[in-house]
Chains A and B, each alone.
Chain A
Amino acid sequence: TAGITQAPTSQILAAGRSMTLRCTQDMRHNAMYWYRQDLGLGLRLIHYSNTAGTTGKGEVPDGYSVSRANTDDFPLTLASAVPSQTSVYFCASSMTGGNGNQPQHFGDGTRLSIL
């Protein structure tokens, strides 16, 4: 079972360049999430989507955008990367969002370095 697939696994990117992190799930989950994880800090929510066609801002949305054209895919785009966006990015999904308490399932992460 694939679960959640993230690509690329890792990337080095020059500051000012744009980048899209891909996330695909095959569990037919309604809700999807993007987090960043930095040393010494908890996971921080960037954007989320409770269902296809809707998105919302999390705790740290600035510099990032998302789209949810269908149930399976939830790409995260950095329009103009800055060094402070160096982090490990995790995509997650859950059966429901916004009115449920289902556990979130995580992809393996994308390690992004902005130079």
Chain B
Amino acid sequence: GQNIDQPTEMTATEGAIVQINCTYQTSGFNGLFWYQQHAGEAPTFLSYNVLDGLEEKGRFSSFLSRSKGYSYLLLKELQMKDSASYLCAAMDSNYQLIWGAGTKLIIKP
């Protein structure tokens, strides 16, 4: 079957760095997406990886290893507004997104 695993909840300190991991198993693979979702709001697109390696976009970076079925989202210089859920989603061979349950990130002052 198809499956996405990511931690349920993480806590980090304002100004610090946090890494949110995601492992995936899909029928075929056409890329890995990360979304941010604040409580009560819609998910918003953060990043997309289809090749191995690190993609950097400001304070946020995303990494992919296709051979390991593994990705992470790295958030630097954490701000209170980064408190949100972070959703990992892998695109399968039918170009459908398989979503993880999300990682709730709590930022403490």
Bound state CA distance, A97 and B99, in angstroms?
17
Say yes or no: is B69 at the interface (Cβ < 8 Å to chain A): no
Interface size on A, residues (CB 8 A): 21
Q: Which of A43, A44, A107 has the most CB of B within 10 A?
A: A43
Chain A interface main SS type? loop
B84 CB–A CB distance under 8 Å: no
Mark A residues whose CB is within 8 Å of B: 40-45, 48, 58, 90, 97-101, 103-109
Give 19 A-B pairs besides A42-B99, A45-B97, A90-B43 with Cβ atoms closer than 8 angstroms.
A42-B4, A42-B89, A42-B98, A42-B100, A42-B101, A43-B87, A43-B89, A48-B96, A58-B96, A97-B95, A98-B95, A99-B95, A100-B95, A101-B31, A103-B33, A103-B48, A105-B45, A106-B44, A107-B42
Chain B interface (Cβ < 8 Å from any Cβ of A): 4, 30-31, 33, 41-45, 48, 50, 87, 89, 91, 94-102
